[in-house]
Chain A
């Protein structure tokens, strides 16, 4: 009986204890958990550090969409008549076979650049009140200097973000034509579905006005500032250079079918604004120019460059196949391009009578930029001559070897030891002075004629001659008295040679509306054989046929985008 009572008492205690424990557990804020390593949106735009980091994030859409390994490891050069990509598996070949459409474009950056635009918008919107935010954060008389420093820097960053947004819009523009303009970040699905494309000219006007608006807020140069640690950031010159390129495109036949001379005049004016800065000149080492590392904007010729990182993947792909670990499917410059390099002595194209060209010794006496841009047979590279002949170490026809008889030299760091995995920083120049001079020459020629000055100190011819006679190249200047037509062709050839592989040709043949001609020509190669005596025999052969249809002057907008918009977004013609 007693035992039972004790048991009963104990039962009550146990039961009570269980109940109490239950209540205690239940009372805790047991489900309140959070990720402490990330910020929620209201924790970002609260101080200088985080706000500026949000600004740096806007830059990152430059990576991978321009430069070394763009489309399935290929350079954009391999999507036009500059080169062929040796790896047959790469998606880039679809540009050349013509097998691309609105469902699948080898280079589909529609989404990417709008992401960059949204990131800029988010930064601009959330930092609009930056003075108040920074004031609150540095609220202390002693911090006055800090406050001023931070306000100045965020103001720069905001201007840079607006530049980058314009840059991204221009990247869309040159591919798709007019696009919808999204100036504010939005999450409203209906608004977004209602977006319509602006005309090409409306987009140009928008970008131009953006550039004009940010010019006063951009820094002149980052060189010599705070131990050079900000080199690579956007400058006033970069914005002017973008404007020059933008207005040149806008004046070009593809976008200016009526040949409106005012557009050419505006383009000339924009290019001249960069020239008039008197900040830039041509670098003495054409070959070394493309191997400048980060902070290349300290160079006399470089206006704005995509900063890079230490890497050797570009060399692994582009060293000739015969070099250790090289040749993983590379950029093979075309005979079409090689033929564009003139004869140094005469300044004539190779096929012109009296040019001095020797088909048995095709690389002798050529424009020096050929040897600096293209690795040709039997030229020294890393301590031995290139063996591009059939059966040679780097031979034509070897799997993953060259398909054209050439390898690329521009951009390639010859000094890397791939077996030891050494690497070097690879910077990609986005704007350089030679391009501005050629932009100027092209616009001047169209607006005023080959040798007219139109009120500027420099004629079209004079600008081209500056490029031709650049130090270390010293090609003969153009003969006087060229017609506007002849001058146009010379400028096109000059651009092709001077700016080879720099992602100009692909777009130039479009805006000139000559792609139906140039991109429908077969891509040619040099088949080199070596005879018993060790002499080379050069034979130009076809590497592959290429296809370009009229609709391809513009990319198709992704088909799903058209469908999502419910008809508000209109597809480019022909797709």
Chain B
């Protein structure tokens, strides 16, 4: 298990391979077969980072995928997690909109494993972190995705949902200092902004809705004329809030400078980075108000020292300073207000420039943005790690001991400057001449900006680790192993008690003639969250690999150059989803639980049972098996990796309260580890690359599929078996099956009774599943899929010619559904506006044959606005996630010049999105909240 450092005189030459770097890292490319030694940008060899160690690709019999730090620069996003989209097979990244500093996506590895918490474990250099977003791509050597039991067993009760392992860059032996400077600037635009009706349309349709409800029109003909002519923007305003609040473009820029080098005794890597991303809000001055924005400074210094011939040290320090500024309103509310505040509500300002607002709609989006002040959050994060390795060959050859400590600290505080402002409510009066006139009624008063600080948050984690490594060859046999003990304590400011973990973990690897590989991994891990006696668990895994192409009988086969079969099985745990110390029954005070006694308002708190003890509470247990194949064909031009897995998760916490009559009187849940979920899937990666002379190209892709099934759920009983969640995937949508719209009163009379609210022609009509002639919740069936995709696939293609290179990445999802509910889709509900989708498709007596949307109503229509197949739609999505065109100068110049290489490039992120929804919204966020951004980037990489 020795690292092989390879030097690559001409980095650019292997651009094609680097673009497909992740494939190369995992495809077990035997080094001897490459004409040109492989080296990724950080100068690393092709070892694969695994839990608490690394292996040569041949050795790996677990299911893992990996990418290099360079791949993370393909997309230009403010948070690093978004750069993982489509990069690692088995990882699903769901974008959460593009608000700078608040765009952390949801990560999911191999689909859903449990109906509780599917959160993944993220580690950087061996320490658990909460989010990848504190990192800069330029400090990262590789990101490895660990997927199966062998890869995860060492994480014991924390690993079963999958692990993302981030390894930072380290220095190499070099005769000079390698300096690299990277810069890029991106112009951002919303992928799409929602469209809603203007005032005339809105008023007309609102009248229509009222008429449908049998109510009087709200807008007289005169008003409609006023809106149509738009002559008086104060009396008849027509405001598009997106136009008023937003600017067309925002920007993102980042710069980094790295140094690395060293000699036999000391090697170093140092990076400093700066990133600045500003949002879409217009007219802000950052002093009295603020655009939403995110600035971050990142630094990292990693040093490797050979203290003596046998004692070496790895020392690292890294951190970041993040500053976020934003308007004093949640981003969700800001965008909801822009979407729902009616265009005719009021003009943005009064004729003399004052902010408008009404009692019912006080939060004029422009007023809130520009007059209310701002808030800001400041994060300070630092990590340090020190590890010593002592060779113990004097005990036995190949043995070494290591020990180290890692510390991670995050401090966050707030600095808010806010104020109240006066706003003016337009009041319409009928003047003596019979003309409408208007005056403004002041509401509230202006106050000075007041500063509030605090809101401090702090967490820190400290890890100690010691252990032994062993690696030795005996003739044809090779034996390697590792055993270690780790202690991990995580403290959150003001939290009840720190989180603590102890872990004894190890791995034993054996191979015969480097052809037959066997590996056993285990952990014996303990967590503070369980009852004494139930705290420790044993998690074993076993795997094997067979390099078939090394067999004598294979030599003849020239089409297949490399072929490895892998298989693994084992058990891993997941402790997420449980309350703290739920083995105890806790009593305490709770809000509203108590009483007022006496003549004033003096509160006597009640001491109440907050939970019912689950004495035997334990973690979820996952039995995961995996088979895989790694192959290279056609003179190594085509590489193939495929995995298939099956996981059975048991001991998932269920609430027995679902099944116990409410006469029990439990006010809390009654949890037991009795739920079960199975999960199965495949991942395939293909990559073909070739070059002739100056022309090189590659074409590849990945496909991953995962489907879960709830085996035991202990859910609330249902009258009809088809309504049960059991037997369906986790988060499966359920609802009524909409069969169309009621044509007329006789259609209503002759159809089953719909029990939610009175129905009229144009309302949704549902299928009576159980034939009881009543449509109610017992007619709910599984519809569509769920909000996460079962299938992700990417297409990855590129070419290079002389100095030019071109690459594209398409990311697609399938077998996913969306639920079109709420203010974006339900016109006039909760005072929302109406979209062209609803307006154009709406049912009317005339359009009943072709209508695609129910008739309009201003009432909360419980019949239509509920989960049904009308609102739950399957959606397939394709995104041109990235496209990049680059040119490298000085390809053939001697390495004597100051600049060793210079590459400039143009790239785009999220340039195009296709989906098969009939409504014009972003298929991932449904255009709720801050939009997903597309970015046009110009960049520069220089090496000195």
Residue numbers of A with Cβ under 8 A of B are: 4, 7-8, 10-12, 14-15, 17-19, 21-22, 25-26, 30-41, 43-44, 50, 53-60, 62-64, 88-89, 94, 97, 99, 101, 103-104, 110-111, 114-119, 121-122, 179-180, 182, 185-187, 189, 192-193, 195, 228-233, 293-295, 298, 307-310, 324-325, 328, 397, 399-400, 419, 425, 558-561, 563-565, 569
Tell me whether A10 and B311 are in contact in the complex, defined as CB-CB below 8 angstroms, given that A99-B862, A115-B666, A230-B598 are known contacts. yes
Given contacts A40-B585, A180-B661, could you give 13 more A-B pairs where the C-beta distance is less than 8 Å?
A4-B309, A8-B394, A14-B390, A34-B497, A56-B604, A59-B595, A64-B592, A103-B776, A195-B661, A230-B598, A232-B596, A233-B597, A309-B601
- Give, as a whole number of angstroms, the nearest-CB distance from B858 to chain A: 8
Contact A63 B584 (CB under 8 A): no
A35 to B528: give the CA distance in the assembly, Å.
Answer: 11
Contact A193 B661 (CB under 8 A): yes
Tell me whether A22 and B485 are in contact in the complex, defined as CB-CB below 8 angstroms, given that A228-B598, A228-B599, A232-B595 are known contacts. yes
A425 to B218: give the CA distance in the assembly, Å.
Answer: 38
Contact B599 A182 (CB under 8 A): no
Does any Cβ of A come within 8 Å of B37's Cβ?
A: no
- Give, as a whole number of angstroms, the nearest-CB distance from A479 to chain B: 42
Q: Nearest 3 pairs between A and B by C-beta?
A: A118-B665, A57-B606, A295-B599
A10 to B309: give the CA distance in the assembly, Å.
Answer: 11
Contact B757 A309 (CB under 8 A): no
A25 to B467: give the CA distance in the assembly, Å.
Answer: 13
Tell me whether A232 and B598 are in contact in the complex, defined as CB-CB below 8 angstroms, given that A39-B588, A60-B592, A324-B359 are known contacts. yes
Of B143-151, B345-353, B714-722, the one touching chain A: B714-722
Within 8 A of A (CB), among B856-900: 858-860, 862
Does any Cβ of A come within 8 Å of B216's Cβ?
A: yes
Does any Cβ of A come within 8 Å of B403's Cβ?
A: yes
Contact A563 B756 (CB under 8 A): no
- Give, as a whole number of angstroms, the nearest-CB distance from A113 to chain B: 9
Contact B664 A192 (CB under 8 A): yes
Does any Cβ of A come within 8 Å of B409's Cβ?
A: no
Query: B308 — nearest CB in chain A belongs to which residue?
Result: A7
Does any Cβ of A come within 8 Å of B593's Cβ?
A: yes
Contact B587 A195 (CB under 8 A): no
User: Which chain A residues border B403 with CB–CB below 8 Å?
Assistant: 17-18, 21-22
User: Which chain A residues border B443 with CB–CB below 8 Å?
Assistant: 419
Contact B662 A60 (CB under 8 A): no
User: Which chain A residues border B68 with CB–CB below 8 Å?
Assistant: none
Contact B487 A25 (CB under 8 A): yes
- Give, as a whole number of angstroms, the nearest-CB distance from B821 to chain A: 16
Does any Cβ of A come within 8 Å of B415's Cβ?
A: no
A563 to B718: give the CA distance in the assembly, Å.
Answer: 7
User: Which chain B residues border A232 with CB–CB below 8 Å?
Assistant: 595-598
Contact B587 A40 (CB under 8 A): yes
- Give, as a whole number of angstroms, the nearest-CB distance from A49 to chain B: 9
Among B528, B604, B656, the residue within 8 A (CB) of A53 is B604
Does any Cβ of A come within 8 Å of B450's Cβ?
A: no
Query: B583 — nearest CB in chain A belongs to which residue?
Result: A40
Does any Cβ of A come within 8 Å of B905's Cβ?
A: no
Does any Cβ of A come within 8 Å of B498's Cβ?
A: yes
Interface string of B827-859 (1 = CB under 8 A from A): 000100000000000000000000000000011
Interface string of B349-391 (1 = CB under 8 A from A): 0000000000110000000000000000000000000001011
Contact A115 B667 (CB under 8 A): yes
- Give, as a whole number of angstroms, the nearest-CB distance from B609 to chain A: 6
User: Which chain B residues border A233 with CB–CB below 8 Å?
Assistant: 597
Interface string of B249-264 (1 = CB under 8 A from A): 0000000000000000
Does any Cβ of A come within 8 Å of B464's Cβ?
A: yes
A430 to B99: give the CA distance in the assembly, Å.
Answer: 51
Contact B660 A193 (CB under 8 A): yes
Contact A37 B598 (CB under 8 A): no
Contact A53 B596 (CB under 8 A): no
Interface string of B176-204 (1 = CB under 8 A from A): 00000000000000000000000000000
Contact B594 A33 (CB under 8 A): no
A17 to B390: give the CA distance in the assembly, Å.
Answer: 11
Contact B587 A295 (CB under 8 A): no
Among B497, B607, B659, B719, the residue within 8 A (CB) of A36 is B497
Residue numbers of B with Cβ under 8 A of A are: 216, 218, 308-311, 359-360, 388, 390-392, 394-395, 401-403, 443, 464, 466, 485, 487, 489, 496-502, 526-528, 532, 535, 580-581, 584-589, 592-602, 604-610, 612-613, 656, 659-667, 670, 716-719, 755-758, 776-778, 830, 858-860, 862
* Chain B interface mostly: loop
Contact B663 A399 (CB under 8 A): no
Tell me whether A43 and B587 are in contact in the complex, defined as CB-CB below 8 angstroms, given that A14-B390, A60-B593 are known contacts. yes
A399 to B217: give the CA distance in the assembly, Å.
Answer: 11
A308 to B600: give the CA distance in the assembly, Å.
Answer: 9
Contact B485 A25 (CB under 8 A): yes
Q: Pull 12 A–B residue pairs with CB atoms less than 8 Å apart, ordered by A.
A: A26-B487, A33-B498, A34-B584, A36-B496, A38-B588, A40-B586, A94-B757, A114-B662, A119-B608, A293-B599, A294-B598, A309-B601
Tell me whether A11 and B664 are in contact in the complex, defined as CB-CB below 8 angstroms, given that A31-B526, A56-B594, A56-B604 are known contacts. no
User: Which chain A residues border B594 with CB–CB below 8 Å?
Assistant: 53, 56-57, 59-60
Contact A39 B487 (CB under 8 A): no
User: Which chain B residues border A117 with CB–CB below 8 Å?
Assistant: 665
User: Which chain A residues border B592 with CB–CB below 8 Å?
Assistant: 60, 63-64
User: Which chain B residues border A294 with CB–CB below 8 Å?
Assistant: 596, 598-601
- Give, as a whole number of angstroms, the nearest-CB distance from B10 to chain A: 40
Contact B500 A101 (CB under 8 A): no
Contact A41 B662 (CB under 8 A): no
Contact B718 A21 (CB under 8 A): no
- Give, as a whole number of angstroms, the nearest-CB distance from B712 to chain A: 16
A97 to B587: give the CA distance in the assembly, Å.
Answer: 43
A425 to B497: give the CA distance in the assembly, Å.
Answer: 38
Contact B598 A295 (CB under 8 A): yes
A440 to B408: give the CA distance in the assembly, Å.
Answer: 74
User: Which chain A residues border B606 with CB–CB below 8 Å?
Assistant: 53-60
Contact A54 B667 (CB under 8 A): no
Among A21, A34, A63, A569, the residue within 8 A (CB) of B661 is A569
- Give, as a whole number of angstroms, the nearest-CB distance from A395 to chain B: 13
Contact A34 B466 (CB under 8 A): no
User: Which chain B residues border A400 with CB–CB below 8 Å?
Assistant: 360
User: Which chain A residues border B587 with CB–CB below 8 Å?
Assistant: 38-41, 43-44, 54
Contact A97 B757 (CB under 8 A): yes
Contact B662 A231 (CB under 8 A): no
Contact B758 A97 (CB under 8 A): yes
- Give, as a whole number of angstroms, the nearest-CB distance from A535 to chain B: 20
Contact A118 B496 (CB under 8 A): no
- Give, as a whole number of angstroms, the nearest-CB distance from B247 to chain A: 34
Output the residue of A11, A186, A195 with the most chain B CB within 10 A: A11
Contact B665 A121 (CB under 8 A): yes
Tell me whether A32 and B661 are in contact in the complex, defined as CB-CB below 8 angstroms, given that A18-B403, A40-B587, A99-B758 are known contacts. no
Among A33, A195, A229, the residue within 8 A (CB) of B598 is A229
Tell me whether A33 and B500 are in contact in the complex, defined as CB-CB below 8 angstroms, given that A44-B587, A121-B665 are known contacts. yes
User: Which chain A residues border B717 with CB–CB below 8 Å?
Assistant: 560, 563-564
- Give, as a whole number of angstroms, the nearest-CB distance from B671 to chain A: 12
Query: B216 — nearest CB in chain A belongs to which residue?
Result: A397
A325 to B444: give the CA distance in the assembly, Å.
Answer: 12
Contact A229 B593 (CB under 8 A): no
- Give, as a whole number of angstroms, the nearest-CB distance from A121 to chain B: 7
User: Which chain B residues border A88 with CB–CB below 8 Å?
Assistant: 858-860
Contact B661 A99 (CB under 8 A): no
Contact A35 B586 (CB under 8 A): yes
Contact A31 B528 (CB under 8 A): yes
A564 to B608: give the CA distance in the assembly, Å.
Answer: 26
A78 to B776: give the CA distance in the assembly, Å.
Answer: 25
Contact B663 A307 (CB under 8 A): no
Contact A189 B593 (CB under 8 A): no
Tell me whether A18 and B608 are in contact in the complex, defined as CB-CB below 8 angstroms, given that A31-B502, A43-B587, A118-B667 are known contacts. no
User: Which chain A residues border B666 with CB–CB below 8 Å?
Assistant: 115, 118, 187
